[in-house]
Amino acid sequence: MTKNILKSQTGSAMLVMTFFVLTSVLIISLSLSAIVVNGLHLGTDQVQSTKAFFAAEAGAERILWEFRKNKNDPIVFVDDSVIPSCNNNEFICFDSETDGVIISCNVLCPTGRQKLLNETYYSINYSHADPITTLISYGKFSDVNRVIELKF
């Protein structure tokens, strides 16, 4: 009789053991999938950050090119008409639709005007305190912003 009781309980013990093993495997696989998902989010954030940084760098290179091209006066149209000088803490705005001509010095640039081909934006903040000129290039992609500061 004891032998029959042990035989009948062996199946239930195996069932409980199988349940614990499967539960452990499920917990481990869910933990690993959470780690992989976090890694994918970090990768996406890195791509967006890089694009925003490159937009800021494009703005910095553009304004430096304008300074060199126009002999340290970036506030000149293609037809050589001069815009009034930018005041401190105003943004130098380029128009990407008309070959990048400087359109104005504003407190804020209209965002659609300096949009690059890869859906990034840049704007440049200008301030001058003799003898130092400070240009801050802001790059934006999606909801990520990056900044490059130039002083000379």
Point out which residues pair with 106 in neighbouring strands: 91
| Lowest-confidence segment of 25-39, 91-105, 107-121 by average pLDDT | 91-105
pTM: 0.62
For residue 15, what pLDDT is reported?
83
Tokens representing residue 41 in the block: 């989010």
Tokens representing residue 124 in the block: 């440049």
pLDDT in tens, 11-24: 677 888 899 999 99
Please report which confidence band the pLDDT of residue 6 belongs to, taking 50, 70 and 90 as the band edges.
low
| pLDDT at position 96 over 90 | no
Which run of H or of E encompasses 53? helix 2-69
